[in-house]
Copies of this chain bind each other. A is one copy, B any other.
Amino acid sequence: MVTPLLDDNQLDHRGLENLIEHIISGGVHGLFILGTTGEAPSLKYSLRVELIKQVCSQVDGRIPVLVGITDASLKESVYIANTSKESGAQAVVVAPPFYFPISDSELFDYYDQLLREVPLPVYLYNQPSLTKKTIEVEIARDLLERPNVVGFKDSSGNMIYFQRLKALLKEYDIPLLCGPEELLVESLFLGGDGGIPGGANVYPTLYVDIYKAMKAGNFEEALKLNQKVFSISNVLYSGGKYGSGGVISGIKSALSHLNICNDYIAKPLGKISREKEKKVKEFLSLDI
């Protein structure tokens, strides 16, 4: 879920309410807040806490709420995890710390410590393009022995890695979710257990339908829906090589045009260009 903002300091409370209801009404099975698309690292902690509380309160147990706690500082991750627990969230999601380059054994020790201190079930999160560190399959194997690891999200886009990881997680009966929505269909074909698609902020039903079609073995239907995913990706997420910025600006612009929430983006990502806004508006008028 993106984080609806009025400015760098304030949540768009009304927009957030709308957005949550819009997404839930699409039939999704869970809500992931404060990930990369949620701009977590750009937000001050007090605002993150406010967001967690409002989301948990409004969702009110209808679907599980997963909270991103990825941070450069282990102790701040634990703080957000504790807040999440108190607010009623179901799990936390944590990618490697993203400032210092670290070795595999340092990564293991980091997670080992974190898993002891965090009071909620944990999804491990592989996101090397932003954290600059891959959770190698061998390291993942050791971490799966910890009792509170309950899931894995992979946003590497590396489907060879994904398959190796899936084979491992199968042994532990732990689900593997796919990050990039353009890979959702094939990840499900390969045994993946779901996805966390940014596009579900705007089109929640589409991704639910893909999931259902694949689980039912309706591959042709799923591949047809997959073309819609690529239409969304090609237009909404475009905008230079700075991937995350393009995705977030496309989603927020679309949500704003649909009168769901404000389109403010926190620094350091730039505001939405006129050109992009025009593109998004045209796209929303099409029947994709």
Contacts and interface: CB of A to CB of B under 8 A. Distances in A.
A185 B103 CA distance: 32
Contacts of A180: 160
A86 interface: no
What is the oligomeric copy number? 4
Contact of A268 (B8, B74, B79): B74
Contacts of A172: none
A9 to B, nearest CB: 6
Contact of A167 (B189, B191, B230): B230
Interface stretch (A19-27, A40-48, A59-67, A139-147): A40-48
A244 B101 contact: yes
Contacts of A268: 74, 96-97, 100, 102, 106-107, 109-110
A178 to B, nearest CB: 11
A41 B99 contact: yes
A49 interface: no
Nearest to A187: B186
Interface in A1-46: 8-9, 36, 41-45
Interface residues of A, number: 63
Given A72-B72, A157-B160, A186-B189, A103 B240 contact: yes
A118 B113 CA distance: 35
Interface in A148-202: 157-160, 163-164, 167, 180, 182-183, 185-186, 189-191
A133 B241 CA distance: 14
Contacts of A132: 132
B101 A99 contact: no
A113 B75 contact: no
Contacts of A96: 268
Q: Which 7 A-B pairs have the closest CB atoms?
A: A41-B72, A41-B99, A44-B75, A110-B268, A160-B182, A106-B270, A186-B186
Given A44-B79, A101-B241, 11 more contacts: A36-B100, A41-B72, A42-B74, A42-B100, A43-B75, A45-B76, A97-B268, A98-B99, A103-B240, A132-B132, A163-B230
Interface of A: 8-9, 36, 41-45, 47, 72-76, 79, 96-103, 105-107, 109-110, 113, 130, 132, 157-160, 163-164, 167, 180, 182-183, 185-186, 189-191, 219, 223, 226, 230, 233-234, 240-245, 266-270
30 contacts: A8-B75, A9-B75, A41-B73, A41-B99, A41-B100, A42-B74, A44-B76, A44-B79, A45-B45, A97-B268, A99-B130, A100-B244, A101-B243, A101-B245, A102-B242, A102-B245, A102-B269, A102-B270, A103-B240, A106-B245, A106-B268, A107-B268, A109-B268, A109-B270, A110-B268, A113-B267, A160-B182, A160-B233, A164-B230, A190-B223
